[in-house]
Structure 1
Amino acid sequence: MPIHDLAVIGGGINGGGIARDAAGRGLKVVLFEKDDLASGTSSASTKLIHGGLRYLEHGELRLVREALAEREVLRTIAPHLVRPLRFVLPHRDGMRPFWKLRLGLMAYDFLAGRGALPRSASVKLAGNPLGAPLKPNYVRGLEYSDCFADDARLVALTVRDAADRGANVFTRTEVVAARREGALWRLTVARGGQRGQVLARALVDAAGPWAGDVLDALKLHPAPPLRLVQGSHIVVPRLYPQERAYVFQIADGRIVFAIPYEADFTLIGTTDRDVSRPAENAQASPEEIAYLCAAASAYFAAPVTPSDVVWAFAGVRALAGDAAGAAQDASRDYALALDAPREAAPLLTILGGKLTTHRRLAEAALDKLAPHLPLMAGSWTGKAALPGGDFPFAEFDTVLRLLRTRFAFLDKRIARRMFLAYGTMAFRILGDARSEAELGPWFGPDLCRREVDHLMDREWAMSADDILWRRTKLGLHIAPADAVALADYMETRDAGVAV
């Protein structure tokens, strides 16, 4: 039986990032995900790559500085996925004073450093198109820069890069038993009613909110303190034409974002609600939906009601530490718990973390394991592009024009969507096609067979939901009959395992 250097449990952003980094360092890596990639928390975020402006209030300067540095790294290695966005923060009487907000944004700019995104500025909202969607009492505010990204696509491309560098990736595969045999782990895995065994020199538990459940189920050491916080979001028809996000201060001390989403919609979130256990299929509660509608309605001139919601989603964030204090005030920093008895195989449990800092978390995780994996090479992920990101962001428009020119028959909207999702890989997916018919059949106006085949062959998609709600967000656009046709096509095609 071959021996892997590293086995990773969890196909979210942290597990994927660790697998990618380790594979690129020359380690023999295997990753197991019991469901689909990014099927939990990693597809249920607010889709932001950001420093965490509100973390400054809690004095988490190191986390903000690290996150802002990572924002720039991710812009460089994934220019098709990570896109700059300006945020408008209306000032609300009775909330944080204007001077305090301005000072906080100046500190944010300073921590980001020179050469980053455009700096913050004061803005008059009265008589300004930026203030047009808002109630007339919001007359001034501030603007600053951060980034937006499709979280589930970031996971899929991170894992794709891990596989391209030699990692073995198994989705719909659960680790059901693990025991130490001296310097090795013996794992028992189950998939589709069949079981197998895997040997590895080190084991990483990156199951996110299920990290403690994994340790319990495998009869390993008790999990360190872990706080589970549900965050819910709603999606409504587009509320305003501006390509800006809005940041709203709420009376309970939280902030809520309203973000342009999928061209035709606005994404509003998030909530913070303590839960005792992670749900396999977390749902936004009616109370959370009402809360987000009320938060948006306090600012937008046109009220937002639950009847406007076309989609709601929720995820459970695993935060390092206990449940003391308000959920929104809990740190988003990560912690790494290493269990490495003398002359025994190590176990590393990942606690907390956020989308933005996943790459640094992976580096820190491998630094922890380095004494146990002495042949491992050094860090490398800070400059290596993710699949499809092999171009400078400054050339985004140029490369997109090349794609539109090469496939002039393709609707410009579809070409842009594919470029945002796949970057330069879009050229390979579309291949030698000379007409839309050669890409078909089509599942509605936006999704063609060639893209579906790519997602099944190269990105581990096995169900219509994998494609419509994680690899893409076309579930917001597709007609029910087309979704059924997609499911039928996938069932009749041999999906196999992505390689």
Structure 2
Amino acid sequence: MVPSSSERENVRALRQRPRAQVLVIGGGINGVGTFRDLALQGVDVALVERGDYCQGASGASSHMIHGGIRYLENGEFRLVKESVQERNGLLKIAPHYVKPLKTTIPIFSTVSGVLNAPLRFLTHKQQGKPKERGAFLIKLGLSLYDSFSRDGGSVPRHQFQGRKKALQTLPKLNSGIKYAATYFDASVHNPERLTLDVLRDGEQAGLSAEESRARASNYLAVNSISADGVELVDQLTGDSFSFTPDLIVNTTGAWVDETNAAMGAASSFMGGTKGSHIVLEHPELLAACAGREIFFEHTDGRIVLIYPMGDRVLVGTTDVDADMREDAVCTEEEIDYFFDLIGHVFPSIEVAREQIVYSFSGVRPLPKHDATQPGFVSRDYRIERADRSVAGRQIPVLSLVGGKWTTFRALSEHLTNDVLALLGKQRKVSTAKLPIGGGVDFPATEAAVERWILDHTSEQIDAERALVLLTRYGSRANQVIEYLEAGEDKVLDSTHELSVREVAYIASHEQVGHLVDVLIRRTSLAFRGLVTEELLAELASALRGPLDWNEERVDFEIRHAEFVLDHYHRVQVQSLVA
């Protein structure tokens, strides 16, 4: 176990009242979304996650909120329509994290794929050598996509350009293109923090409702079901206790079957695929994208993407069958694939491994798909029900199979409605138009952002720091700034993006279990390749007091962070001192 670990407040709350109407297992976006929705309906709900929130597939996404134009080829029209509607909704209720994303598709032919597309549609298999989709098919798909987007003009309609105009706009594009199609989707620049915002909304909803409670803990795993209830094990201390719910919701993604097996009833619902990404510090590639995502079909028929995120460029993704016995990591072969796809679209731009600042990989929670090729496996979701004997009672267990980031709110609503029906309760609140966390009263224009920064700039917090806080917390930055200004503070020497009191705020309000949680999921420092030996030491020291760590624990956390960054993200931490 982790050295010098004491019981956390959120674990203590679950142990002191070890029962609830509903236990949600899994702290990815779908589990957290369901937790929030249930809490808003006045349900006594608890959530447990064996790792950190948004640590699995939810934290390994392409950072897109999109309708899934390529799912049209699979015939998943319901999913595409729902996804587009949810995309439009998230632009309104989570504007602090979800932003419009201008997307361009380079097109190399006019009618290619017209004969193959119906066969792919009918069989979900590639017939012979891949045939790229030509302008005719892409135009047809985008027109249908636009028809799903009629929601008061949330995003503009698509546009087509010929080769000459396309190369004037994006001069580094492969000169062999014939057309370029441009449309809008959306991005989520910090999916981990959006997940935390949704979680906190749920916790606060539980506090405000007299008849309900909403309690959640990370690093708390389901070990088994016994005569006393569901056995939960604290992953930091090794302590265990029994918890008794009236109903269980299993939202553990690719691990749904393993979770069901731990509860004594094995299932075989899942057949996830692994997707990897790399993050590049590459000014030339960044400039070549001209602020837009480049979304296209690679030579093998796989849909891939290149797009800027701040001063970095995200490249992805792969789609290969996952071996759940192995850690999901980005391989050398996948990196070669990414470099090849960059060369396909931007042939004059060279990329080297030294320009990779971060990589990540996750297993998509897809259904078992047998002979169906990974790219054609349905991205839709379904809910499976079974009953378990818990503490001498038969209780329902709902297992979520599938699901994607964009549709988490609608999916959570679906799961919540099923739970409410089983509990004999009625829905009280719709989440469709309910702002999420820091999206409440978030400044809607650049001018409004500038005014907000001016209003929150002080002797202690300069304009640059205020913008960092607004970007990280949305309008909840108001509360953070009040906390920062309530005591003596100091910006860290190793990064201007954190201060000692902000670290204390994160530790006390956001359930930090490990040092690496702050680097990867409470900030974007790791994602942008900004972790140094000095930052690890200074951040661990800042966490020491708020989390009651001794010297042994501080040393352990630094070594643990170095291992996680190296093993899972190909980051070898260096010192600022040459």
TM over 0.5: yes
Q: Could you tell me which residue of structure 2 aligns to residue 295 of structure 1?
A: 341
- 212, 217, 220: which one pairs with 2:257? 212
Most deviating of 86-95 and 371-380: 371-380
**Equivalent pair of 1:282/1:315 in contact (CA under 8 Å):** yes
Alpha carbons of structure 1 residues 450 and 138: separation in structure 2 relative to 1, 3 Å: farther
Against the structure 1 CA distance between its residues 6 and 397, is the aligned structure 2 distance closer, same or farther, given a 3 Å change threshold?
farther
Match of 2:169 in 1: 130
SS at match of 2:78: helix
2 CA distance for matches of 1:125 and 1:265? 27
For the 8 Å contact 1:293–1:306, the answer to whether it is kept is no
CA contact (8 A) 1:320 1:351 kept: yes
Whether 2:92 is the aligned partner of 1:76: answer yes
Q: Quick one: which amino acid aligns to residue 216 of structure 2? A: V
8 A contact 2:225–2:231 mirrored in 1: yes
Trace 1:121-200 onto structure 2 (pairs within 5 A): 121-124=159-162, 126=164, 128=167, 130-138=169-177, 140-149=179-188, 150-166=190-206, 167-179=214-226, 186-191=229-234, 192-200=237-245
Match of 1:449 among 500, 507, 511: 500
1:462 and 1:398 map into 2 onto residues whose CA distance is 36
Q: Deviations over 1:422-469 (max 9, x none)?
A: 111112212276799835345412222233222212221232211111
Contact 1:175 1:187 in 2 (8 A): yes
User: 2:432 matched to which residue of 1?
Assistant: 382
Match of 2:576 in 1: none
Deviation by residue 1:42-94 (Cα, 9 ceiling, x = unmatched): 11000100100100111111000000111112112111010001001111236
Match of 2:80 in 1: 64
Q: Which one-letter code corresponds to 2:328 in the other structure? A: A
8 Å CA contact 2:272, 2:368 repeated in 1: no
CA offset digits 1:248-293 (Å, max 9, x no partner): 21111111111111x22100011001023164x4211111111111
Structure 1 SS opposite 2:440: coil
Superposed displacement of residue 230, structure 1: 0.3
Q: For residue 333 of structure 1, what is the aligned residue in structure 2?
A: 380
SS, match of residue 344 in structure 1:
strand
Task: Choose from 236, 260, 277 the match for 2:308.
Answer: 260
Asked whether 1:240 is paired with 2:286, we answer yes
Paired with 1:404 and 1:259, the residues of 2 have a C-alpha distance of 31
Question: Aligned partners of 2:46 and 2:512: how far apart in 1?
Answer: 18
Q: Using a 3 Å threshold, how does the CA distance of structure 1 residues 30 and 432 change in structure 2: closer, same or farther? A: closer
Q: Which residue of 1 is the match for residue 11 of structure 2? A: none
Q: Give the greater-gyration-radius structure (CA).
A: 2
Q: Is the 8 A contact 2:230 2:242 kept in 1?
A: yes
Deviations 1:206-240 (A, max 9, x none): 111111111112212x3243111000001111413
Counterparts in 2 of 1:130 and 1:456: CA distance versus 1, 3 Å: farther
Deviation of 1:413 after TM superposition, in Å, equals 4.5
1:176-223 deviations in whole A, cap 9, x for unaligned?
122588xxxx21111112111211110011111111111112212x32
User: Deviation per CA, 1:16-55, whole angstroms, max 9, x where unpaired?
Assistant: 0110110110011111111111111111000100100100
Counterpart of 1:347, as a letter, is V
Matches within 5 A, 1:478-493: 478-493=531-546
The Cα RMSD (Å) is 2.4
- Relative to structure 1, is the Cα distance of residues 251 and 375 closer, same or farther in structure 2, using a 3 angstrom cutoff? same
Following the alignment from structure 1 to structure 2, what is the Cα–Cα distance between the partners of residues 17 and 146? 22
Q: Partner amino acid for 2:196?
A: A
Matched, 1:54 2:78: no
Residues 334/481 of structure 1: CA separation in 2 closer, same or farther (3 Å cut): same
Unaligned runs of 5+ in 1: none
Does 1:429 pair with 2:473? Answer: no
Q: What do residues 120-142 of structure 1 show as CA deviations (whole Å, max 9, x unaligned)?
A: 10134546553123232235301
| Matching residue of 1:109 | 146
Name 2:318's counterpart in structure 1: 271
Q: Which moved more, 1:49-58 or 1:163-172?
A: 163-172
Q: Distance in 1 between matches of 2:483 and 2:379?
A: 46
| Equivalent residue in structure 1 for 2:355, among 308, 311, 332 | 308
- Distance (whole Å) between structure 1 residues aligned to residue 186 and residue 495 of structure 2: 30
Q: Is 1:230 aligned to residue 274 of structure 2? A: yes
The C-alpha deviation readout for 1:135-155, integer Å capped at 9, x for no partner, is 322353010000000221221
> Quick one: which amino acid aligns to residue 245 of structure 1?
E
| CA-CA distance at 1:304 after TM superposition | 2.6
Range with bigger deviation, 209-218 or 483-492: 483-492
Unaligned runs of 5+ in 2: 1-16, 113-131, 207-213, 550-578
Contact residue 209 and residue 278 of structure 1 kept, 8 A? no
Q: What is the one-letter code of the residue matched to 2:150?
A: G
Structure-2-length-normalised TM-score? 0.80
Amino acid at match of 2:134: P
Structure 1 residues 302 and 335, CA gap change in structure 2 (3 angstroms): same
Q: Residues of 1 paired with 2:269 and 2:539: CA distance?
A: 43
Asked if 1:25 corresponds to 2:25, the answer is no
Residue aligning to 2:101: 85
Separation in 2, partners of 1:323, 1:130: 43
Evaluate the alpha carbon distance shift between residue 449 and residue 374 of structure 1 in structure 2; reply closer, same or farther with a 3 A threshold. Answer: same
Identity fraction in percent? 30
Secondary structure at the aligned position of 2:240 is classed as strand
Distance 1:26-1:400 versus aligned 2 partners, 3 A rule: farther
